[in-house]
Each structure stands twice: as C-alpha cells, then as structure tokens.
Amino acid sequence: MVDAIHRILFDAMGSRCEIRLAAPDGDSAQQLMHRAVDEVRRIEHKYSRYRADSVVSRINAAAGSKAVAVDSETADLFGYAAALYGASGGLFDITSGVLRKAWDFRQPRVPPAAVLEPLLALVGWHNVECGVFEVYLRKAGMEIDFGGFGKEYAADRAATLLAQAGVRHGYVNLGGDMRFIGPRMDGRPWAIGIQDPREPDGVLATINVSEGALATSGDYERFFELDGQRYCHILDPRDGMPVRYWRSVSVLAPVAVAAGSCSTITMLKQRDGLDFLNASDMAYLAVNGEGQMLYRDLI
Amino acid sequence: MTINKESGMAASILSAALMLPGVQAHAEAPPTNGVISVGYLDYRDSQSGLDRIKVHAPSVSIMAPVAGVWSVSGSLVKDDVSGASPRYHTAVSGASHMDDDRKAGDVALTRYLDRGSVTVGAAYSTEHDYVSRALSLQGSYESEDRNRTWTAGIGHSDDKIDPVNQIVTNERKRTTNFLLGVTQVLTANDVAQLTLGYDNGSGYFSDPYKAFDNRPRTRYETTLLARWNHHVAATDGTTRLTYRYYRDSFGVRGHTLGAEYVQPLSDGWTLTPEVRLYTQSAASFYYDPVYDSKLGAPFPPGYNGTGYMSADQRLSGFGAVTLGLKASKQIDKLWSVDAKVSAYQQRGSWRLFHQGSPGLDALRAQTIQIAVNRQW
C-alpha cells in the first residue's frame, strides 16, 4: 500500500529507454508503465521512417505524385516543424534527412559534390505543402522525417499521460531525452548525469532536475574522423556538411520537444548558437570544440 | 541577428511545442495524492456434498503521503465467517457449525531515505477466542546504480488464545521472524529476487477445536523464495515466476511453483491469468483419519494418551492447484476497478514428493475479490 519507485527499461525508437515512477504497488506501476510504453510505441509505429506503413513513409512514397491525407496529430506535428524552420532561420528542416544517403558514418569518406548536389536539391521546407488535412511533397525523391523531435514528443506525451493518471514522482527517459513528472518521493530532485562527449563512459556534470525536461544533442552519437577532423551526423541543410563548433549541447526546458529542438538548433547554428542559447530563457550546458564548458542557470 | 530576435525565437519554439497535442508543461496536480480502496471478498470452500466455510469480507484501505518523505498506510478488514469446520477432523464429527467474526487492522509508517526506506508496522487482529498483535521493522537499501536492492526485516507477534471450549485458557504463542532479501535487475527485461525467511515460534500451536491435537510447543520455519519477472517485448506482457521452498521443525516440507502473466490491453485493461502448484509432506506427528483398531473412532492408531499428534489436514501430505484470473481497468485518472476469481483444489493424491493422505477428501475453494480504488 505504500508508494515506492518502480522502474521499467525498454528499447524503442532505436534507443535505450527507461521510465521511473512512484506507485502504490507493483501491479499499478506495471499498468501505468505499460500505458506509457504503449504510447511511445504508438508514436514510433505511426511516424517511423523504417516502417513502410507509417504516415511518414506514405508521405515520402507519394512525393512528387500526390498529396497524402493526414490526421490532426500529424498536421500538428507539421505545424511544429514549420515553427522550427522559421525559428532556426531555415536550419532545422525536416526535409534534410535525405542527405543521410550521402553519409555512411561507418566509413570515413566525405561524399563528393556530385553525390551531395542532387540530394541538396531535394532539401527544402518550401517544397512541402501542408494543409489541415493533407501533406504533399512537391519533388519526387523528397523525404520528410520527424527524427529531429519524435523522441522528445513521445517523452512529453508519455509523461503527460502518466501525470494525468495521477503519477507525481518520476520521469520518462527516451535515449537521453528526458521529461520529468516530479521529484523523487522525498521531494529531492533527480540527479542526472550529462554524457561526456569524448568519453563514452564518462559523465561531464550532474544536473538536478525535478520537473520540466532535459535533452542533449552532440557530435558523438554517429561520426567518423578523417585527417583529424570529426564528421558528425548533424548536417547543415545548406551545404549537406556536418556541423562543427559544438561537441554537445544540453538544454533544460518546460517540455522535452522544446528542449530537444533548442539543443539541435544550437548545434546547427554552430558559432551563433551561443547567442541563441543566451537569448532563450532556458538553462543549458554546452561544450565547444575546445572542450570548454559553457552553462547557465544550472545550480 | 539581435538578441531580442533570438529571444523571440526560443520563445516561439516553446509556444509551438505547447500547441502539440498531448504535450503539457505541468499537469494539474492535487496537493496530496493518496489512495482509498474499498474491496469485497467472497470465499467459499467445499468438500464433496458439503458446503463448508463461507467468508464475506468488506475491507477499506487507505494510504496518505505525509510531508513528502513519509507515508502512512493502514487497512481495516472485517470478516464474517460461517460454516462447517473440515469433516473427519473436528472434535464433533459431522458438520459442526462455526460462526465467527474477525476484525483486523494494520498500520505502517515509512520514511524514505536517500537510497532506501525504513518501515515500521503494527497489526492487530481479533476473533472472539484469539487476539494477535504484531510489530515489524523493515529496511531496504539500494546500490549506487540502483540495480540491486537489499532488504532486511525483523518482526515479532504475540498471540493470545482463549478457546470457548476452555480446553486451554490464556494460552500464548510468540513468534519472532527474520527476513533477508536481495533484488537484482539482470537485464532490461529481467528482475530476480531471492528472499530467505526464518521464523522462531514458541507456545501453543495446537488446534483447541480438534480432538487429540497435541503439537510441539516450538516451531522453527525456514522459507526460501525465488522470483523472476520477465518482460516479454513481443507482447508487452510480463511473466512472473516464483518458487518457494518451505521446511519446519514439525517435519513439513513444501514446494510451491507459481506462474503469472500480466497482459496490458487497450483502453486501460489488464488481464492476469495465474496458476500455482503446491505440494507438501506431512508433519512427523500427523496421522491419517483411520482409527485405532481396539479403541475405534475417534482415537488414532496406537493412541496411549501421550505424544505429539494431529489430524489437521493442513499438516497432511497433499498437493494443490490454484487457478486464477484477474482483470483490472483504469477508468480515468482517478478511478480504477479490479476483480479476481480463483479456484483452489487440494488432494492428498496430488502430492509429488512425500507420503500423503490419499484417503482425505478433496478440498475445493472459490474466491471472488472486487475492489474499487480512487486516488485523492
């Protein structure tokens, strides 16, 4: 009958995921956690670009030929993508995923211009027509994906669902994109380690978080090094080249979608990212190319 | 770009994020979060051609958080028991009627610490001929990575027995128990637990309502419990397997194998089928319900007025099977209901390892439990 913290680990969206929450007994904890996991999997199935039957795959398959009907949730996600494109000065573009075709991070090879240019021609949010009920990609070969904020959206949805079910203590962690429901049972914050971008097992800092969200983008998830230069998976949609300047950017925001988007935009803005972070109201911890830590409002 | 323009951009991202369906910055939280649960249990068991005991038990339980780091819980249950005591083994042959009222309550106070918790509990239970009081202290401690939890506990109970037939008066039974357990997260989908329990009891263990029931005045019990919970990714369900070994100084050895499968379904439904298999050997002083060839019923074979003996069928060798099904539904964020039906059958011939009591009639029981829970 006494609340205790329960925990579930699972794999979803290509990441290790974890939910911790306080519940009166194991049964109700399982029930709550499974509802949250179900919600994460629902979003994964609906929007995964690896599933031929997902909304995203159907929109991409119809690029250049016809508009695809979408439901209101999908239309809202396109609305958010439009806001990100505008707020990032065109750097956060959900059509830029097609550039991945030029980059195979398992082999240290920079793609030649002849490979990048035809793909760059397919990048461009202005070629996405999204209405209230349908979406149309104007050019054949264009692709959109929600990989840039899908995990964060799922973390927010799962956490909101749990909070509405009465959970007051716990968090949802989808591969490092974390949304907090409330502090530990004794009221103290959770101590969350920030991954060291150059040491896979190292922790750079520990941040105390009770509510809101924490998301990190970095140059260390997928990359190769060639002639002393690191080439990471975050690609500038203007030239198709990996961004440089930051090793990692962690942002604390009221919701995970906003935290993840702001950390990714900072990576994409490279040197100008610091102005963007400082102008935002959000707490952050960023590590630049020299390994220097810059932070605000963390302690 | 100017600072102001950048500031507007981050703010516009946040406001756009909050427009997404199902994404809220803060849930509307009630200031406290407790649970109140009202339940009802209906138990009936039978031997062939005879309805034995029926129990109706409404219960109320309540849990309230206190000042963040403390929580208090308590429950009250009032059983109505009516029916015939087991055939063959009662002092009065045939179906003697019993009517009893049990009132029970317990309260526990938990203090949450940095990496563990301490719980102090007290329980009180009374029937008109039996009063039981118990105190317990339990602590848990988590490893730094929180993948391992150690649990240790100590408890003491003091029972007072005053049977209406006055075969004994003011008898006592005192038991001290110790518990040591470890829970280990093995993989993302597997958790295992091992618990060792030891009970040291002294006093009146006999059943005052059974003829020629004379049991030792000390009883040492050892229990080893192993659990393994596995999450099945393919179905999103969870299997819970348990094995329990029991031995005591009466000579009873028991093995329990249990399996449960929890399947979450859509719309807040969860279905949990369960099966439990049990087998035990008889106590060394148990005698089958056959009677002395000279003295006849109800005297046990070789009866000479001394020595330990009991014909309590709970001390006989038998096997038992329990089948159960639990359905629960989360109705909305505050209300949930659950219902469980289970059927139990016990037969001497189902024992697996030891001498049994094949002549004993099978015992069957059905239990229906319903509970409505509300958070507040």
Chain A residues with beta carbon closer than 8 angstroms to that of B13: 83-84, 87, 258, 261-262, 265
CB B279 within 8 A of CB B353: yes
**Dist CA A76 CA A132 (whole Å):** 9
**Dist CA A67 CA B350 (whole Å):** 67
With CA atoms as reference, the chain B residue closest to A164 would be B333
Judge: B328–A31 Cβ closer than 8 Å, yes or no: yes
Residue A269, min C-alpha distance to chain B (Å):
12
DSSP symbol at A32 = H
For residue B8 the two structure tokens come to: 């507007």
Judge: B16–A31 Cβ closer than 8 Å, yes or no: no
Chain B residues with beta carbon closer than 8 angstroms to that of A164: 27, 333
Q: What is the pLDDT of residue A45?
A: 93
With CA atoms as reference, the chain B residue closest to A33 would be B264
- Backbone phi, psi, residue A252, to 5°: -100, 130
With CA atoms as reference, the chain A residue closest to B239 would be A30
Provide the residue-wise pLDDT of chain A in tens; the chain has 299 residues: 457 888 888 999 888 899 999 988 888 899 999 999 999 999 999 999 888 999 999 999 999 999 999 998 999 999 999 999 999 999 999 999 999 888 888 888 889 999 999 999 999 999 999 877 899 999 999 999 998 899 999 999 999 999 888 888 999 999 889 999 988 888 788 888 888 888 877 788 888 888 889 999 988 878 888 888 888 888 999 999 999 999 999 998 889 999 999 999 999 999 999 999 888 878 898 999 888 888 887 65
CB B97 within 8 A of CB B83: yes
**Dist CA B346 CA B48 (whole Å):** 12
Closest CA to B189 of B230, B160, B150: B230
- Backbone phi, psi, residue B45, to 5°: -130, 165
Chain A residues with beta carbon closer than 8 angstroms to that of B238: 30
Which of A37, A164, A257 comes nearest B20 by C-beta?
A: A257
Residue B80, min C-alpha distance to chain A (Å):
23
Instruction: Map residue B189 onto helix, strand or coil.
Output: coil
Judge: B236–A38 Cβ closer than 8 Å, yes or no: yes
- The confidence band for B30, taking pLDDT boundaries of 50, 70 and 90, is very low
Q: What is the pLDDT of residue B29?
A: 33
Q: What is the pLDDT of residue A141?
A: 94
Chain A residues with beta carbon closer than 8 angstroms to that of B189: 9-10
Give the relative orientation of helices A256-269 and B3-18 as an angle to the nearest 10 degrees: 140
Q: How many residues does chain B have?
A: 376
With CA atoms as reference, the chain A residue closest to B272 would be A27
Judge: A281–B10 Cβ closer than 8 Å, yes or no: yes
**Chain-centroid distance, C-alpha B24:** 40
Residue B230, min C-alpha distance to chain A (Å):
11
Judge: B112–A181 Cβ closer than 8 Å, yes or no: no
Which of B17, B71, B236 comes nearest A258 by C-beta?
A: B17
Judge: A255–B17 Cβ closer than 8 Å, yes or no: yes
Chain B residues with beta carbon closer than 8 angstroms to that of A34: 236, 264, 270
Peptide bond into B298 cis (omega under 30): yes
- Beta strands (DSSP E) in B204-268 are 218-232, 237-248, 253-264
DSSP string for residues in A98-167: GGGGG--TTS--PPPHHHHHHHHTT--GGGEEE-SSEEEESSTT-----TTTHHHHHHHHHHHHHHHTT-
Which of B10, B22, B110 comes nearest A2 by C-beta?
A: B110
Q: What is the pLDDT of residue B40?
A: 64
Sequence-ordered alpha helix ranges (H) in chain A: 26-47, 55-61, 72-87, 113-120, 150-164, 256-269, 273-279
Residue B65: pLDDT over 60 = no
Judge: A211–B26 Cβ closer than 8 Å, yes or no: yes
CA distances from residue B289 to A199, B53, B353 in whole angstroms, order as listed = 73, 21, 21
- Backbone phi, psi, residue A106, to 5°: -80, -15
Q: What is the pLDDT of residue B308?
A: 87
CB A19 within 8 A of CB A36: yes
Which of A38, A258, A281 comes nearest B264 by C-beta?
A: A38
Judge: A161–B236 Cβ closer than 8 Å, yes or no: no
- Bridge partners (DSSP) of residue B99 are B82
Q: How confident is the model over B275-318, as pLDDT tens digits?
A: 999 998 888 888 877 777 777 766 777 777 778 888 887 888 88
DSSP symbol at A245 = S
**Dist CA B220 CA B273 (whole Å):** 34
Judge: B264–A30 Cβ closer than 8 Å, yes or no: yes
Residue B198, min C-alpha distance to chain A (Å):
24
Q: Which of B13, B36, B63 to mutate to test the interface with A (most CBs of A within 10 A)?
A: B13
Q: H-helix or E-strand containing B59?
A: strand B50-66
- The confidence band for B41, taking pLDDT boundaries of 50, 70 and 90, is low
Which of A2, A161, A258 comes nearest B63 by C-beta?
A: A2
Q: What is the pLDDT of residue B3?
A: 42
With CA atoms as reference, the chain A residue closest to B15 would be A258
Judge: A76–B10 Cβ closer than 8 Å, yes or no: no
Strand A246-253 relative to strand A283-288: parallel, antiparallel, unpaired?
Answer: antiparallel
Chain A residues with beta carbon closer than 8 angstroms to that of B23: 153, 156-157, 160, 255, 257
Chain B residues with beta carbon closer than 8 angstroms to that of A185: 68-69, 71, 112
- The confidence band for B28, taking pLDDT boundaries of 50, 70 and 90, is very low
Q: What is the pLDDT of residue A14?
A: 85
CB A234 within 8 A of CB A249: no
Which of B6, B23, B262 comes nearest A157 by C-beta?
A: B23
Taking the CB of residue B127, how many other CB atoms lie within 10 A of it? 16
CB B96 within 8 A of CB B84: yes
Q: Which of B1, B3, B7, B14 to mutate to test the interface with A (most CBs of A within 10 A)?
A: B14
Judge: B6–A8 Cβ closer than 8 Å, yes or no: no
- Backbone phi, psi, residue B310, to 5°: -160, 140
Judge: B75–A1 Cβ closer than 8 Å, yes or no: yes
Q: What is the pLDDT of residue A61?
A: 95
Judge: B9–A88 Cβ closer than 8 Å, yes or no: yes
Instruction: Map residue A92 onto helix, strand or coil.
Output: coil
Residue A112, min C-alpha distance to chain B (Å):
32
With CA atoms as reference, the chain B residue closest to A41 would be B236
CB A178 within 8 A of CB A214: yes
Which of A3, A153, A276 comes nearest B10 by C-beta?
A: A276
Judge: B328–A185 Cβ closer than 8 Å, yes or no: no
Q: What is the pLDDT of residue B338?
A: 86
- Residue B283 or B355, more confident: B283
Closest CA to A224 of A216, A215, A233: A233
- The confidence band for B50, taking pLDDT boundaries of 50, 70 and 90, is low
Chain A residues with beta carbon closer than 8 angstroms to that of B16: 79-80, 83-84, 87
Q: How confident is the model over B93-123, as pLDDT tens digits?
A: 333 444 556 677 778 777 777 677 888 888 8
Q: What is the pLDDT of residue A54?
A: 93
